[in-house]
Amino acid sequence: FQRSRAFLFLNEVKRRFMSLFGETAQTAIPYAMKHYSESKDLETISRVHGELDELKNIMVK
């Protein structure tokens, strides 16, 4: 897909987020969602994505 579409999508996400949360987003606790980025589930998902990428490369060859 086009790079410009990706940025259009991100701008739409930002617009919706700000319309829902507005000023409260500016006062969010900085590390309130840190546990989501350190989740073991995230590691598993990343590993599976890597395996899928390897499989795709094999299938293309």
More confident residue, 5 or 25: 5
Give me the pLDDT at residue 36, please. Answer: 66
Compute the distance between CA of residue 53 and CA of residue 45 in angstroms, rounded to an integer: 12
Mean pLDDT of 8-24: 91
Instruction: Name the band, by pLDDT with cuts 50, 70 and 90, for residue 7.
Output: very high
Give me the pLDDT at residue 15, please. Answer: 93
pTM of the model: 0.42
Provide the residue ranges of all domains of the chain, joining segments of one domain with +.
Answer: 1-29, 31-61
15 in Cβ contact with 7 (< 8 Å):
no
Terminal CA-CA length for the chain:
23
What percentage of the chain exceeds 90 in pLDDT? 34
